[in-house]
Chains A and B, each alone.
Chain A
Amino acid sequence: MSIRRAAPSNVTLNSPHRGQHRRRSRSFNYQLLQSFTAIFCTVVLGVFFLYILRVSRENRGTASSRSIAASSAANDQLENESLRSDRSELRLGTVPWSSGLPQPGMTTEVSSTHGANPFVSALPAQPLGTIDDLVWKQFAALNIQPAPLCSDEVFLRRIYIDVLGTLPTAEEARAFLDDRDPDKRAKLIDMALERPEFADYWAMKWSDILRVKAEFPIKLWPQAAQAYHRWIRTAIKNNMPYDEFARALLTSSGSNFRTPQVNFYRALQGKEPAAIAQAVAVTFMGERTERWSTERLEDMSVFFSQVGYKPTGEWKEEIVYFDRRKGKDKAAFNEPLNAHLPNSVKVQIAPGEDPRRVFADWLIHEKNPWFARVAANRVWSWLLGRGIVEPADDIRVDNPPSNPELLDFLASQLISADYDLKHLYRIILISQTYQLACIPNGEQSLGAEHFASYPVRRLEAEVLIDAICQITKTSESYMSIIPEPFTFLPEGTRAIELPDGSITSSFLEMFGRPARDTGLDSERNNKLTAAQALHLLNSNHIHNKLKQGSGLSELLSSTPNTAPVDALYLGILSRRPTDDERAMAGGMAGYGDGAQTLAWVLINSDEFLYRH
């Protein structure tokens, strides 16, 4: 990893206003810009060259230039075209599924996947864009064979689950799969980034890191937790630049109810300066102060030594503010505060100047070696299942990035896009690296570290229960009896929308929802346990949802021209069944309630339970 030394030592002299900061970062970046231009030109040329090659090879004139993925999708589509006529007729009437459901004239839908493996596209993956170039460079150096591209079906599901924490409906799946637009993958990404679930899901993820919970041992109190959550969700919905987001969390003063971002300073395992510094380090620098020297932690704590807390007349309201007297001897009120930034640069903070601002200005400066990289690494790890530095919240000298150039590139993209996180999402999601299939082409362990295939991992607790509720058209009740007065959330609230980590739910607890005590990623547990398997396979909870919810029958009746087996596959696995699957499902017609049994099978399959 290239090391950028010392942030400018003048950060304390003026706390730059946001606008100035932006302008300054532009001019400051001149040299960087030059080198980027050079890289960029090379990349564009390279990509263009590849593209020409490909287009001529395939002898197709699709004019899209957005992605090879798009053209591969088109390719699939063309192939299907030629299969469509014979396939659909072949399948007619071969699905004796469920209680007399297949009707005369009913057709089975055409599978756009190829035979037995619905997970891969027929096309090999090729680098496209800087991210892919940097990833492929390592493939070449380490002799790693990347997985093929994922199929459209997998891509669709991935975008919904990874970006929205939400299962696509049967109609959404059908519409995407039948869309012949060669650009449809890019369009799906653009659409997803604007959906309200984007804000819901990422507010949930950030609430894990920012420790949003009402009770015990972090006592935010329900109103404050909900206000804090709403502030985070609004910031994400409005795509607040990430540096502004961090600055607001770090420098605000006010009431926990009225200026909700101050809850950052309340959602802590302690309110002493060292505990605050610890939380700031892990949240924004991706570092664990337990691994620091005592001296370094003490140095950083100075910036948080004047965070004051005071109650108001309102029950459980608390003001977080800059307490200029705190931590100082009476005689030293008018003395400057001497402090060392985490990069060891010494600063003097004038009396009356909030040390938190000095720290924040240093932190979010584009030359700061941590800030943009940590954010980029987090987003990458969320989408690709593994950080370039892994774990994403344990950055240290003996845990180097697996691909330093890639991390640098992502960080520079974030900075040059004025900390627009959606830009980062977009360039990652459109990359071929993200669109690789989950079936590795070679040994899993080495390839995994270098992103040679998409890693399979269990859906998060909230996403899983929401998906089951969506399929069955049922809901969960979310409430909390602690503390009094009780908290009740409206019926139909989705788990990814929950504004408070203290809300009671035995399902979410069993499936590894994080306690939100430390803000560490490892608090969330996404491994399937035997207890979870028992619950999914055999609990009354799941059984009753399948049996009593209207979801399955609606799924079957809303698509009168589709065979039941196809409708269930589309609604649950977001794809059509393969020929083999149709045959297997058909052989079960003897079961009393076939649709429920098939839905049970699909919900318990790895394909449903795991991102893939």
Chain B
Amino acid sequence: MKAKSYYCDSSCGPELNRRQLMQCGFLASAGYLLAARLLGAETTTPVDPDAPPKAKEGTAKAVIQIWLGGGPTHVDTFDPKPDAGADYTGPLKGTCPTNVPGIHIGELMPELAKLADKYSLIRSFTHGDNGHETASYLTQTGRNPGKVVFPAAGAVVTAFKAFDKSDKEQAEKESLVPPYVVLTQPQGRFSEAGFMGMKYKPFATGGDPNAGRFAVEGIVSANLSESQQRDRRALLARMNALGNALPTDSELVVAAKSRDDAYDLMLGDAGQVFNLNTEKDELRVRYGRNKFGQSCLAARKLIEQGTKFVTVNDGGWDTHKDHFAAMRSKLPVLDRGLATLIADLADRGLLDSTIVWCIGEFGRTPKVATESPWNGGRHHYGKVFSSLVAGGGFKGGQVVGESDSRGENVKNRPVYPGDLIGTMYELVGIDPEASLPNPRGDFIRATPGEDEGMRSGGRLKEIT
């Protein structure tokens, strides 16, 4: 019988510095969602032991993710199969030849066809999962659903690119712009910060960027004028009895700082990033005067101001019923918005440093469901689908992989979610062996890998 009592045992795990733990608790909390500025305050903020190492200077500085929630069809967009027969094409039989010889895309995407030299298409994307939640998780994290919730690519990129405060000048410049923004509604619980916690969650703007005044939730009030806001702020400061009685309490200091930052964003110049009225009407029309188009425009403005990851969260792609009617209304909007975004970024010299990544959680059944009640619908299809990537180090004018003649299986060069995400992380400068911040301080590699049981077709070397 072993006689040792647990409390005297010397064989227990590695010692953890208590101070570090407390600091880590403090940091995990201090509200950073909105700003690297908070991180700049080194005199009052201890160093985060869990913070990721600084990302290297990557070719890409920022990412815009165009998320087509619900799962867009691949055969009517980036991988048309005009020869598969009417059972497969439905009424959309034609294609658009692009400005790159040999590449054709769906007939409802003429604008994108004009600039195929600026983006590449992956036509052999696959994970095989047909459930919205699990497929979204796979596509956005590159990881198989399992014991822990991994952060989405947006949170990882932001963790490495925006929460690094070693470059103070840059941090100061980018101080108030939210580093990770989703336009306009959050994607949901499988898509964001995962185990990294609140600090890495995106700022969801709410509101409608196509409205006369883009009422960004919390930042732009639909009801109060700026002077009313200032009066209220002064009143709150005077009447804040507890805060005034406890001016040095560590919790209330955090509260006061958070309120100051909030007001800076509401009343200062930083909030102007959301003012689309400063853009020329002609450009706004080119993007499309609709929520999606103006979200793309807002994304460009945010990237210009230093935001690291913007998700344009578009929905309505889950077209089990009346698929073709939906495509006739949705595809022109996507085509215009996305094409203008890529062109606009290129015109401003930002495309080389900005990745544009368009994808949904899966594709849709290539064979049309004509029977009742689907009335010409397409269902979930994770076996093979397409994604568009542009900029930030991705070459243009290329096609990666191939699906079979009906778009039902990967014909060659499968690309798994982790392959694309791993490639993207390399382009933004994340060390393939870097660890993610996590509450337990464990080593958890940022980049998904085959050793975790994920299938892989290899990094996208052909287009980087």
Q: Which residues does A use to contact B, with CB under 8 Å?
A: 1, 3-6, 9, 117-119, 215-217, 269-270, 275, 288, 290-293, 295-296, 340, 342-346, 369, 391, 394, 396-399, 438-439, 444, 455-458, 482-483, 502, 504, 506, 509-510, 512, 515, 517-518, 520, 522-523, 525-535, 537-541, 543, 578, 581, 584-585, 588, 597, 600-602, 604-607, 609-610, 612
> Are A293's CB and B8's CB within 8 A?
no
Among candidates B25, B148, B204, residue contacting A522 with C-beta atoms closer than 8 Å: B25
> Are A533's CB and B259's CB within 8 A?
yes
22 A-B pairs with CB atoms under 8 Å apart are A215-B133, A216-B137, A291-B13, A456-B251, A504-B188, A506-B204, A522-B28, A525-B197, A528-B31, A528-B255, A530-B262, A533-B259, A533-B262, A534-B218, A538-B266, A539-B217, A597-B232, A601-B239, A605-B240, A606-B242, A606-B246, A606-B255
Please indicate the chain B residues that have their CB under 8 angstroms from the CB of A532 in the complex: 31, 258
> Are B218's CB and A537's CB within 8 A?
yes
Please indicate the chain A residues that have their CB under 8 angstroms from the CB of B137 in the complex: 216
With known contacts A439-B246, A533-B259, A292–B13 Cβ distance under 8 A = yes
B32 within 8 A of A: yes
Among candidates A9, A346, A397, A522, residue contacting B12 with C-beta atoms closer than 8 Å: A397
> Are A606's CB and B240's CB within 8 A?
yes
Please indicate the chain A residues that have their CB under 8 angstroms from the CB of B189 in the complex: 216, 482, 502, 504, 509
B43 within 8 A of A: no
Closest beta carbon of chain B to A240's beta carbon, Å: 28
B219 within 8 A of A: yes
With known contacts A340-B2, A506-B186, A538–B262 Cβ distance under 8 A = yes
> Are A527's CB and B251's CB within 8 A?
yes
CA distance A534 to B216 in the complex (A): 10
> Are A537's CB and B259's CB within 8 A?
yes
> Are B33's CB and A531's CB within 8 A?
yes
Closest beta carbon of chain A to B103's beta carbon, Å: 37
B329 within 8 A of A: no
Among candidates B6, B34, B223, B258, residue contacting A528 with C-beta atoms closer than 8 Å: B258
B375 within 8 A of A: no
Please indicate the chain A residues that have their CB under 8 angstroms from the CB of B195 in the complex: 515, 517
Closest beta carbon of chain A to B413's beta carbon, Å: 31
With known contacts A344-B5, A533-B258, A538-B221, A216–B266 Cβ distance under 8 A = no
> Are B254's CB and A535's CB within 8 A?
no
B374 within 8 A of A: no
Please indicate the chain B residues that have their CB under 8 angstroms from the CB of A295 in the complex: 11
Residues of chain B from 411 to 447 with CB closer than 8 A to chain A in the complex:
439-440, 442
Closest beta carbon of chain A to B240's beta carbon, Å: 5
Closest beta carbon of chain A to B67's beta carbon, Å: 17
CA distance A526 to B28 in the complex (A): 10
CA distance A457 to B251 in the complex (A): 7
> Are B239's CB and A581's CB within 8 A?
yes
B283 within 8 A of A: no
Residue of B nearest to A5 (CB): B5
CA distance A73 to B203 in the complex (A): 47
Among candidates A531, A609, A612, residue contacting B218 with C-beta atoms closer than 8 Å: A531
Please indicate the chain A residues that have their CB under 8 angstroms from the CB of B149 in the complex: 216-217, 515, 517
CA distance A92 to B11 in the complex (A): 72
> Are A610's CB and B251's CB within 8 A?
yes
> Are A601's CB and B236's CB within 8 A?
yes
With known contacts A6-B3, A292-B13, A397-B7, A606–B147 Cβ distance under 8 A = no
CA distance A478 to B252 in the complex (A): 30
B15 within 8 A of A: yes
> Are B13's CB and A584's CB within 8 A?
no
With known contacts A340-B2, A525-B29, A537-B259, A216–B12 Cβ distance under 8 A = no
Among candidates A3, A438, A543, A588, residue contacting B235 with C-beta atoms closer than 8 Å: A588
Residues of chain B from 231 to 251 with CB closer than 8 A to chain A in the complex:
232, 235-236, 238-243, 245-246, 248-251
Closest beta carbon of chain B to A302's beta carbon, Å: 14
With known contacts A293-B11, A397-B7, A520-B439, A537–B246 Cβ distance under 8 A = no
With known contacts A217-B146, A344-B3, A396-B12, A530–B241 Cβ distance under 8 A = no
Please indicate the chain A residues that have their CB under 8 angstroms from the CB of B146 in the complex: 217
Residue of A nearest to B15 (CB): A398
Please indicate the chain B residues that have their CB under 8 angstroms from the CB of A291 in the complex: 12-14, 16
Closest beta carbon of chain A to B174's beta carbon, Å: 14
With known contacts A343-B5, A606-B255, A610-B251, A533–B18 Cβ distance under 8 A = no
> Are B8's CB and A3's CB within 8 A?
yes
Q: Give the bracket for the number of chain B residues in contact with chain A.
A: 35 or more
Please indicate the chain B residues that have their CB under 8 angstroms from the CB of A118 in the complex: 241
> Are B241's CB and A581's CB within 8 A?
yes
B261 within 8 A of A: yes
Closest beta carbon of chain B to A1's beta carbon, Å: 7
Residue of A nearest to B186 (CB): A506
Please indicate the chain A residues that have their CB under 8 angstroms from the CB of B199 in the complex: 529
> Are B31's CB and A605's CB within 8 A?
no
CA distance A438 to B440 in the complex (A): 31
**What 0/1 pattern do residues 388 to 426 of B give for CB contact below 8 A with A?**
000000000000000000000000000000000000000
B145 within 8 A of A: yes
With known contacts A216-B145, A533-B258, A610–B217 Cβ distance under 8 A = no
Please indicate the chain B residues that have their CB under 8 angstroms from the CB of A609 in the complex: 255
Extra contacts, 15 of them, besides A3-B8, A527-B254, A606-B240 (Cβ < 8 A), are A269-B148, A291-B13, A291-B14, A344-B3, A345-B2, A396-B13, A456-B251, A509-B201, A520-B439, A530-B33, A531-B31, A538-B262, A540-B206, A540-B215, A584-B235
B302 within 8 A of A: no
Closest beta carbon of chain A to B304's beta carbon, Å: 21
> Are A584's CB and B254's CB within 8 A?
no
With known contacts A217-B145, A517-B148, A606–B2 Cβ distance under 8 A = no
B265 within 8 A of A: yes
**What 0/1 pattern do residues 154 to 196 of B give for CB contact below 8 A with A?**
0000000000000000000000000000000010111000010
> Are B28's CB and A610's CB within 8 A?
no
CA distance A290 to B438 in the complex (A): 14
Please indicate the chain A residues that have their CB under 8 angstroms from the CB of B240 in the complex: 605-607
Please indicate the chain B residues that have their CB under 8 angstroms from the CB of A605 in the complex: 236, 239-243
> Are A399's CB and B2's CB within 8 A?
no
Residue of A nearest to B221 (CB): A538
> Are B246's CB and A529's CB within 8 A?
no
CA distance A340 to B250 in the complex (A): 45
B35 within 8 A of A: yes
With known contacts A1-B7, A291-B13, A343-B5, A606–B217 Cβ distance under 8 A = no
Please indicate the chain B residues that have their CB under 8 angstroms from the CB of A269 in the complex: 147-148
CA distance A533 to B232 in the complex (A): 14
> Are B262's CB and A537's CB within 8 A?
yes
Q: 6 closest Cβ contacts across the A-B interface? A: A529-B31, A527-B29, A534-B218, A291-B13, A344-B2, A533-B262
Closest beta carbon of chain A to B26's beta carbon, Å: 8
Among candidates A1, A217, A444, A588, residue contacting B147 with C-beta atoms closer than 8 Å: A217
Closest beta carbon of chain A to B357's beta carbon, Å: 24
Please indicate the chain B residues that have their CB under 8 angstroms from the CB of A344 in the complex: 1-6, 9
Which interface residue of B12, B199, B203, B257 has the most chain A CB atoms within 10 A? B12
Please indicate the chain A residues that have their CB under 8 angstroms from the CB of B346 in the complex: none
> Are B243's CB and A606's CB within 8 A?
yes
Residue of A nearest to B18 (CB): A399
CA distance A567 to B15 in the complex (A): 54
B47 within 8 A of A: no
Closest beta carbon of chain A to B217's beta carbon, Å: 5
B285 within 8 A of A: no
With known contacts A1-B7, A527-B30, A533-B261, A119–B245 Cβ distance under 8 A = yes
